[in-house]
Amino acid sequence: MPEQRNQLRLVVATLVPDEVCSWLAAAEPRITLVRDPDLLPPKRYGGDHHGEPFWRRTPARQQRFEDMLSSADALYGIPDQSPELLRKIAQTNTALRWVHTMAAGGAAQIAAARLDPATLRRVAFTTSAGVHVPTLREFALFGLLAGAKNLPRLLADQSAHHWPGRWPMGQLHEQRVVVVGLGHLGRGIAQTVAALGARVSAVNRTLREVPGVDEVAPLDRLAEVARSADALVVTLPASPTTTGLVDAEVLTALRPGATVVNVGRGSAIDEQALIAALSSGHLGFAALDVTAVEPLAKDSPLWDLPNVLISPHTAALSPREDRRIAELVLENSRRLLDGRELLNRIPETDLT
């Protein structure tokens, strides 16, 4: 159980709009919110936590930035999205007790910092899991419907000014959908798809009951569960255990003409196997918000396959994203101050 505290010095280490910072500071008087916009790059769009890529601090400003980080009890965001800088601050600032990541799946980023065991015991790490569920759930549904309704055929006919004979469209409510991963996002997608009448199965690292899901199996049974499914939705974060999990065996187990949607991380799918299954026509459609390497290489076959929809890792973004993350940060700030367990805390075992 975390110790109770009277004040929390929360240093903003990433791009958060002025109005959101003002709201957060006013919402909880026990928070001392510390930020200096001059030490952060220009924000390019709502939900941007990297900033202008060519922006650089002078050596003097870099020292000011690191001094500010070193004064923190808690960090709002990973500084510069840099595992190296996070390691430096986390291991030298012994007052640091909590770091909140802006990503829904921040474990890989924290693990890349290679923090020592003592630091991992002292500092709690939390993610923004759940914040992006509404936006990514919509994109997943969009991809599933586009596959069921054969969007590539409709667009091709429209482009050719061709009015074909009538043909039966696929119906999502008649399909079997497999959801890979039952975190906040996977559960949200599963329940939404089930509400439309589809039969939903899932695989997950741990077995759990989810309303609307008929069957939950462990990850190593994915190929078996995918057998004869009409669609596969991937929601997994990046980790050594998820890399390449959706491989050729899984993809060929799906029914001919099946749809694949990825709103997790591109590394979870064997991309060459995916390209082969799409090129052969075994898969009917893929909606990809993420790819194995981003930006997607200009010579990737995925760009030109007519049965692929590419979204450049932008489906999660919303003008309200910053406020939603701030609401989670506020709740966890209060929990830390009150000595209660934090929401979305990453298990220490996932960080080594």
Residues taking part in catalysis = 265, 294, 313
Distance CA(98)–CA(110), nearest Å, equals 12
List beta partners, residue 269.
Answer: 246
d(CA 7, CA 55) in angstroms, rounded, equals: 33
- Distance, in Å, from the CA atom of 103 to the CA atom of 78, rounded to the nearest integer, reads 10
Contact by Cβ (8 Å): 285, 151: yes
Contact assessment for residue 173 and residue 198, using Cβ atoms and an 8 Å cutoff? yes
Helix (H) or strand (E) holding 33: strand 31-34
Reading the block at residue 156, the tokens are: 């091709």
Q: For strand 8-12 and strand 74-76, is the pairing parallel, antiparallel, or unpaired?
A: parallel
Give Cα 168 to chain centroid, integer Å: 35
Reference 102, options 315, 330, 331, 328; nearest CA is: 328
Helices (H) and strands (E) in the chain, counts: 12, 12
